[in-house]
Chain A
Amino acid sequence: MTVLTPVLSTPPLVGADADGHAAFDVRDLKFWYGPAPALKDITLQIPARQITAIIGPSGCGKSTFIRCFNRMNELVPGARVEGQILFHGQNLYAPAVDPVEVRRRIGMVFQKPNPFPQSIYDNIAYGPRLNGFKGNMDEFVERSLRQAVLWDEVKDKLRQNAYTLSGGQQQRLCIARALAVEPDAILMDEPCSALDPIATLKIEELMHELAVNYTIIIVTHNMQQAARVSDITAMMMLVDDHRTGTVIEVGETQTIFTRPKDKRTEDYVTGRFG
Chain B
Amino acid sequence: MDVQPMGALPEAVNTLSPAPPALTGTVRRRISEGAIAGALFLCAAVSILTTAGIIGVLVFEAFEFLRAVPLADFLLGRVWTPLFDPPSFGVLPLVAGTTIVSVTAMLIALPVGLLAAIYLSEYAGRNTRRVLKPLLEILAGVPTVVYGYFALTFVTPLLRQVWPQAQVFNALSAGIVMGVMIIPLVSSLGEDAMSAVPNALREAAYGLGATKLDVTLRTVVPAALSGIVAAFILAISRAIGETMIVLIAAGQSTTLQFNPLKAMETMTAYIARVSLGDNPQQSTEFKTIFAVGMLLFIMTFVLNLISQRVLAKYRQVYQ
Contacts and interface: CB of A to CB of B under 8 A. Distances in A.
Nearest to B204: A114
Given A75-B203, A174-B204, A100 B211 contact: yes
Given A110-B204, A114-B204, A118-B222, A100 B209 contact: yes
A38 to B, nearest CB: 18
B19 interface: no
B210 A130 contact: yes
B186 to A, nearest CB: 23
A112 B201 CA distance: 11
Interface in A52-90: 70, 72, 75, 77
Given A77-B125, A163-B318, A114 B203 contact: yes
Contacts, number: 72
Interface stretch (A39-47, A101-109, A230-238, A246-254): A101-109
A165 to B, nearest CB: 12
B210 A100 contact: yes
Contact of A130 (B200, B204, B208): B208
A181 interface: yes
Given A77-B125, A161-B317, A163-B317, A181 B200 contact: no
B206 A177 contact: no
Contacts of A112: 200
Contacts of B203: 72, 75, 108, 110, 114
Interface in B122-160: 125-126
B319 interface: yes
Contacts of B125: 77
Contacts of B204: 110, 114-116, 174, 177
Contacts of A197: none
B218 A126 contact: yes
Contacts of A103: 206-210
B279 interface: no
Contact of A70 (B198, B202, B207, B317): B207
Contacts of B211: 100
B208 A126 contact: yes
Interface residues of B, number: 24
A127 B125 CA distance: 27
A172 to B, nearest CB: 14
Nearest to A74: B206
A224 interface: no
B210 A110 contact: no
Nearest to A180: B208
A177 B208 contact: yes
B207 A77 contact: no
B126 A163 contact: no
A118 B221 CA distance: 13
Contacts of A72: 203, 206-207
20 contacts: A72-B206, A75-B203, A77-B125, A77-B126, A100-B209, A100-B210, A100-B211, A101-B209, A103-B206, A108-B203, A110-B203, A110-B207, A114-B200, A114-B204, A117-B223, A126-B205, A126-B208, A130-B210, A174-B204, A178-B208
Interface of B: 125-126, 198, 200-211, 214, 218-219, 222-223, 316-319
